[in-house]
Chains A and B, each alone.
Chain A
Amino acid sequence: MSTSASHAADHHGHDHHHQESFISKYVFSMDHKMISKQFLITGIIMGVIGMGMSLLFRLQLAWPDEQFGILEMLLGKWAVDGKLDPNFYMGLVTSHGTIMVFYVLTAGLSGTFSNLLIPLQIGARDMASPFMNMLSYWFFFLSSVVLLVSVGVETGPASAGWTVYPPLSALEKAMPGSGLGMTLWLVAIALFIISALLGGMNYIATVLNQRTKGMSMNRMPLTIWAFLFTAVLGLLSFPVLLGASLFLIFDRSFGTSFYLSDIYLEGIGALENVGGSPVLYQHLFWFLGHPEVYIILMPALGITSEVISTNARKPIFGYTAMIISLMGISILSFIVWGHHMFITGMNPFLGSVFMILTLIIAVPSAVKAFNYLTTLWRGNLRFTPAMLFSIGLVSFFISGGLTGIYLGNAAMDIQLHDSYFVVAHFHLVMGSAAIFGMFAGIYHWFPRMYGRMMNNTLGYFHFWLTFISAYLVFFPMHFMGLAGVPRRYYQFTLMEDFSVWADVNKLITVSAIVGGFAQLLFLYNFFVSIFRGKKADQNPWLSNTLEWTSPMDVRLHGNWPGELPTVYRGPHEYSRPDRELDYFPQNEPDETAPEVFEPAVVTEAPKAEEVPAENSVFFAAIKRVFGLSR
């Protein structure tokens, strides 16, 4: 054990005895475990609001001519006579998208589990900078508050869709939601970006710098790999959104014309703006927007890898292939943004380049899907709720991913663009899949967070109701989209051709309401289990990873009393034939191995002068960078 680590251990061993005030323990906490709970609870609250919004506009889509007294009671002048206001409908769609994409599935998912698992699974006392970690949460909190305020302002929330394309978002007079609501939206997103950057820097620095002894890169659980790539994506793509929205702010408030060109506005006449390009905003936005999709999905994939491996009692199939495919997805995600813009007037040649690159993403995605299936194949399966949700993720990932191949084609996109086909595609592949990953993570690591177990029976009901209703909601949308039903429309009653879809819309809405009620089961289960759940064992899932070796019964800032654990093997050594137990924790020394105290993987790296000059220093460097030199 190193001197530094044992010093830190002593320090922390004494540290947790002194009394913490309520404020420093629960509010401005710098303990990554508490911060992860803060992210989770805020994310859940935002998720409830976002889901509630979707139910409101689903009601409108299913029964466009009906009057719901309850809506007027809830929304006042936004639903006069119980009928949703068209402008507010647009605001609801926008807020639902923003909340779900940024607040639930980015901060709520990655924020929660990166914070909880990175220090615990790599064997660190806390994040590299606990203070910045705390700031990250509070910027996120502030951002959530500003966004919720923007929903309540008199002129309505931002209404240009979650992508806030100009000119709708740039001209205050374009629609009611483009006024104060849009300004607050931009403020909220700016705060969110700061939070994401503070968090992301911390995650990367922690994973690279704070791994415990023996935790080489190729012994890290796949969750950590996923969080690492997620943080890198966020760090490189969010600043571009910051730049894009900076110009948008100037266009809105200071009369510049970056995104505006030759616009005629009803009631005002021709505007003075000339020379700008609204397509440029789309380029900049989707340079964030596409990596953002993987920022949402990759943590869920990482969680699934871990949960499936643990509950199939098998090593994950193709550990290295999983890492390489994560890496491939990360790199490709930066060079495919144009597939969101095939019909914007972009050069068709560029369209085919983006199309080819987009279709290449199918390769690493398929590698991941097949690896999940082969991990499950002949495994010793335990169907815990977390396992069910992980398998649900794989199902959504496959069925949503298949439609991605159609949407990625520039020619097909002419028909499918901005139709319900797109809505169905992304709600399955990144919406439902990511939220299922989040549920899997919550059910799996709830004992780690609160020291208690969630109720399994409620979990099963929650899973099956959610799984079936999600498919019932999103599967029919494919057919609507193929028939050309456009998204973001308030109602279709004036379009005779679309009247055949009225019943389908009712089916979707009823399913969505059932799915919404299923979440009440989850909320009940979650909040009651925090206080009344069965006490959890130290390692309830008989898992290998380090987070289950930190004591469960006391909340310890510093995670381990005494020394940090030393790691002797990879995270997925389940059902080893030479072992009696079917798991082999990472921190348990192997008595039969020749070197007991020295980590087994470690071979002496060649000294600089011993490396032959022409003998591919480059490859040696790559090997060492990725810890491949076994």
Chain B
Amino acid sequence: MANHTTTEASFENQPTWSGGRSPFNVSYGKLMMWIFLLSDAFTFSSLLVQYGTQRFSNVVTPITTKWPDPASIFNHFPGMHGFHLPLLFVSVMTFILILSSVTMVLAVEAGHRNSKKEVSKFMIYTIFGGLAFLGCQAWEWYTFIGEGARLDGNTFGITKQGYDHLHSVGFGSHFEWLDGDRTFGPVPFAALFFIVTGFHGFHVFSGVVINVVVYIMTVRGVFERRGHYEMIEKAGLYWHFVDLVWVFVFTFFYLI
């Protein structure tokens, strides 16, 4: 309702919280986006709490875990079959997503200068970044499923080294020895991966849809007529949040 630019001007001499103006000098839309992101952070926290609980209930000793080693599972790269390239592909994915955040910042900055041409250019880059990330994730899932990952079971396990250590400390005798280098690991390993990265992927997908809508609005001159490009900032907030969440998901699922 209240137009934030005029509100700022008329009440600039008033104390921040005395009413009649926005205390943070933001429009209600941007404020709501922040509030939404706060609440979404709690959604992701609950998912990561589930992950943490499952993950750490499988820690046997401080150095031994029944959890499969991600670096030995996510070691594929398109076109490089047979090479052991631990976490290379997911690093590329992460880099793409962070790059798309950078182009989003550039779009927001161009929006401050009311430069329609540059905003649309950088929005296109951002959209492509998001689509590339989604494509990479599809490949990652495809490969993972192809190796036998399922929601209701787990074919991934610990390595020979870890298996021997588990035996030496008196645990893990009920593990079935499968082949040269793997045993069955904890059941929720793959399911957690699919649900949490899937939920994040859904967020990226929504972000791409939002970005496309905002891009079309930019190109059709909606924001130019409106006089400000605040919508780009709101979409940007969401996009950076999705990026930030990925950093946590990446850390939890691939690095720890």
Q: Which of B22, B50, B191 contacts A209 (CB 8 A)?
A: B22
Query: Judging by beta carbons under 8 Å apart, are A217 and B152 in contact?
Result: no
One of B12-20, B77-85, B130-138, B226-234 contacting the partner: B12-20
Residues in A whose Cβ lies below 8 Å from that of B173: none
Q: How far is the CA of A31 from the CA of B145 in the complex (A)?
A: 50
Residues of B within 8 A of A601 (CB): 18
When the two chains form the complex, which single residue of A5, A239, A247, A627 contacts B50, counting CB atoms closer than 8 Å? A247
Q: How far is the CA of A338 from the CA of B161 in the complex (A)?
A: 39
Closest-CB distance, B190 to chain A (whole angstroms):
9
Evaluate contact between A216 and B10: CB separation under 8 angstroms: no
Name which of B28-36, B103-111, B113-121, B238-246 contacts chain A.
B28-36
CB <8 Å contact, B39 and A239: yes
Query: Whole-angstrom distance between the alpha carbons of A126 and B24 in the complex?
Result: 20
The winner among B19, B187, B191 for most chain A CB atoms within 10 A is B19
Within 8 A of A (CB), among B1-57: 1-3, 6-7, 9-11, 13-20, 22-24, 26-29, 31-32, 35-36, 38-40, 42-47, 49-50, 53-54, 57
Instruction: Give B3's nearest chain A residue, CB to CB.
Output: A4
For B40, the closest partner residue in chain A by CB is A239
Residues of A within 8 A of B14 (CB): 213, 602
| Distance between B53 CB and nearest chain A CB, rounded to angstroms | 5
Q: Mark A279-294, 1 if CB is under 8 A from B, else 0.
A: 0100110010000000
Residues of A234-264 at the interface with B, using a CB-CB cut-off of 8 Å, are 235-240, 242-244, 246-247, 250, 254-258
Asked if A128 and B32 make an inter-chain contact with CB atoms under 8 angstroms apart, the answer reads yes
Residues on the A chain within 8 Å of B35, using CB = 200-201, 204-205, 235
Q: Within 8 Å of chain B (Cβ to Cβ): is A553? A: no
Give the residue among A4, A254, A257, A272 with the most B Cβ atoms within 10 A. A4
Nearest Cβ on chain A to B100's Cβ, whole angstroms: 25
With A567-B19, A603-B15, A629-B15 in contact, is A240–B42 under 8 Å at CB? yes
CB-nearest residue of chain B to A196: B39
Q: Is A124 an interface residue (CB 8 A)?
A: yes
User: Interface of chain B, helix or strand or loop or mixed?
Assistant: helix
Q: A602 to chain B: which residues have CB within 8 Å? A: 14-15, 18
The count of residues in chain A whose C-beta lies closer than 8 Å to any C-beta of chain B is 71
Indicate whether A496 reaches chain B with its CB closer than 8 angstroms.
Answer: no
State whether the Cβ of B172 lies closer than 8 Å to any Cβ in chain A: no
Contact B15 A605 (CB under 8 A): yes
Given contacts A209-B22, A236-B42, A243-B46, contact A277 B57 (CB under 8 A): yes
Is A75 close to B, CB under 8 A?
A: no
- Contact between chains at A242 and B43 (CB < 8 Å): yes
B side interface size, CB within 8 A? 49
Which of B2, B18, B31, B195 meets A247, CB within 8 Å? Answer: B195
**Residues 198-219 (chain A) with a chain B CB within 8 angstroms:** 200-202, 204-206, 208-217, 219
Contact B46 A284 (CB under 8 A): yes
CA gap between A589 and B26 in the complex, in Å: 29
A-chain residues with CB within 8 Å of residue B40 when the two chains form the complex: 239
The answer, among A125, A126, A205, A213, for a CB contact under 8 Å with B32, is A205
Q: Are B188 and A276 in contact (CB under 8 A)?
A: yes
A129 within 8 A of B: yes
Query: Does A324 sit within 8 A of B, measured CB to CB?
Result: no
Tell whether B247 is near chain A: CB-to-CB under 8 Å: no
**Contact assessment for A201 and B32 in the assembled complex, using a CB-CB cutoff below 8 Å:** yes
Chain B residues lying within 8 Å of A200, measured Cβ to Cβ, are 35, 39
B187, closest chain A residue (CB): A275
Q: Give which listed residue, A202, A214, A242, A276, contacts B20 with CB less than 8 A.
A: A214
Q: Is the CB of A124 within 8 A of B1?
A: yes
Question: Which residues, 139 to 158 on B, are CB-close (under 8 Å) to A?
Answer: 151-152
Q: In the complex the two chains form, is B49's CB within 8 Å of A604's CB?
A: no
The answer to whether A208 and B22 touch across the interface, beta carbons within 8 angstroms, is yes
CB within 8 Å for A275 and B188 given contacts A209-B28, A599-B18: yes
**Extra 11 A-B pairs, beta carbons < 8 Å, given A5-B2, A200-B39:** A2-B6, A4-B7, A8-B2, A126-B1, A132-B32, A204-B35, A208-B31, A247-B195, A272-B152, A273-B187, A602-B18
Residues on A lying within 8 angstroms of B by beta carbon are 2-5, 7-8, 122-126, 128-129, 132, 197, 200-202, 204-206, 208-217, 219, 235-240, 242-244, 246-247, 250, 254-258, 272-277, 280, 283-284, 287, 567, 599, 601-605, 624-627, 629
5 nearest A-B pairs in the assembled complex, by CB-CB distance = A243-B46, A255-B152, A213-B20, A215-B19, A128-B28
Question: Could you list 20 A-B pairs, sorted by A, with CB under 8 Å?
Answer: A3-B9, A122-B19, A208-B24, A216-B15, A235-B38, A239-B39, A240-B46, A243-B44, A243-B49, A243-B50, A257-B188, A257-B191, A258-B50, A272-B152, A276-B187, A280-B53, A283-B49, A599-B18, A624-B15, A627-B18
